[in-house]
Amino acid sequence: MIVDDGWRPVVWVERRLIGDFEEVDQAELLGLVCCPVLLIHGSSTMDEEEHMLLVLSRRGLPLLPKGSRLEVIEGVGHGLDERYDDVIRFAVDWYRTRLRPDANSLI
């Protein structure tokens, strides 16, 4: 169950969904990605869903294009709500490194 986080009602998720994440062929799926990717996760082991997604992202990172990055926010769960300031900082820094200095386009 995902409790009300202020922007959606309570959502019930079957335990099987977490197992389904493990069955995805990461090499096949991530091999289709053709640009660097920023992944942001919390590290809370109390949040089973986020912990599983973090484990999968760590396994999948080497399969993503060069320049991809994983940022981990210590102690937070899937919503990352307590640390939006870090999420914003990671995203802004990510885009700044991807913008060409002479134009407003992504590298």
Residue 83, pLDDT score = 85
pTM: 0.70
Determine the average pLDDT of the residues in 79-97.
86
HSE, CB side, 13 Å, CA atoms: give it for residue 64: 15
Looking at the DSSP bridge assignments, the partners of residue 100 are none
Tell me what percent of the residues of the chain surpass a pLDDT of 70: 72
Domain ranges of the chain: 15-98
Handedness of CA 89, 43, 77, 69 (dihedral sign): positive
- Decide which of 21 and 87 is more confident: 87
Using one digit for the tens of pLDDT, what is the confidence trace for 46-75?
A: 777 788 888 889 999 999 999 999 999 887
Question: Is the confidence at residue 7, as pLDDT, over 80?
Answer: no
Question: Is the confidence at residue 95, as pLDDT, over 80?
Answer: yes
Question: Is the confidence at residue 24, as pLDDT, over 60?
Answer: yes
Residue 1, pLDDT score = 47
15-23 vs 48-60: helix crossing angle, rounded to 10: 0
DSSP letter string over 3-59?
---SSS--B---HHHHHHHHHS-HHHHHTT--S--EEEEE--TTSHHHHHHHHHHHH
